[in-house]
Amino acid sequence: EAVDCMARSLLLDPDFKGPYVNLGAAFLRLHRYDEALAISEAGLNRHPQSPQCHYHMAIAYYRKSILLESAAPLAWTKNQHEDFRKKAKECMEEARSSEDAEKVQKKNKN
């Protein structure tokens, strides 16, 4: 129900960052990783410096890699598993190096 409400709020104001961030978090909690990736990518199209969207993508890719590794530990899935881990790391680095994240880090140091 909350996901539906947040999705409708995007229709009201597609430039507002909050619904993208909240939907990404909701999809992660529901283990809907592809949807978390899709909404986070959409959020990044409008808000390229959003550390939250990058963070949600990192978590989604990492969890997909864990699922893939445990479900099919075959040699041909190892490459895809490693690709997901690599993407997770890249997204986490983006989240940590974003302007918004740096502001928070400076604020926390004071």
Q: How many domains does the chain have?
A: 1
Distance between CA 63 and CA 55 in Å, rounded?
A: 12
Q: Residue 92: give its domain's CATH number.
A: 1.25.40.10
Cβ atoms 101, 51 nearer than 8 A: yes
- Residue 106, classed as helix, strand or coil, is helix
- Structure-token match 């502001």, residue found: 103
- In the chain, DSSP finds a helix count (H) and a strand count (E) of 6, 0
Per-residue pLDDT of the chain (110 residues; tens, 9 = 90+): 889 988 999 989 999 999 999 999 999 999 999 999 999 999 999 999 899 999 999 999 999 998 887 776 665 567 788 899 999 999 999 998 888 888 877 888 87
Give the pTM: 0.83
By residue range, what is the domain housing residue 58?
2-109
